[in-house]
Amino acid sequence: MANPRIKRLTKEILDLSNKPLQDISISQDEDDVMKWTCHIKAAPESPYKGGTFKFTMNFPAEYPFKAPSVKFLTKIYHPGINDQGEICIGILRDDWKPSISASTILATIQEKVNNPSPDDPYEPEIAAELKNNKTKFLSVAKEWTKKYAT
């Protein structure tokens, strides 16, 4: 009998290939279905427009009872993503539920990337800049996008 988590992830990747999320691409590691490499193309109205951001999703042995880990490999000047590439979203931490799908996780990450908020930041200085000097924040975000994500 197939491992339930592998069966679920196989179904989720199939669902995502049949009904892809706009501006998100996903590939599974050939040797390990528990490791995904993902790319998000920033929305045109985003501070990161023109950029494509690469990140990994690693599903633990306890999935779906434990959330996957997400790590951005592309540097991004964002209050909710730290220098180590970790993203601050509730559904990957305290708000995790086994019913949350990979599609929901990806859509939430996409929303977070495209709409940075100074609330609940991993990077308090960047959050303060977004809140108090948005022009400077937008300038640095654009610069980093050009440097790292194009």
Active site residues: 88
Q: What is the DSSP letter of 25?
A: E
Rg (CA), the chain: 16
Is the torsion defined by CA of 122, 77, 63, 90 positive or negative?
Answer: positive
Give CA–CA dist 122/113, Å, rounded. 13
Q: What is the DSSP letter of 90?
A: G
% helix, strand, coil for the chain, step of 5: 35, 20, 45
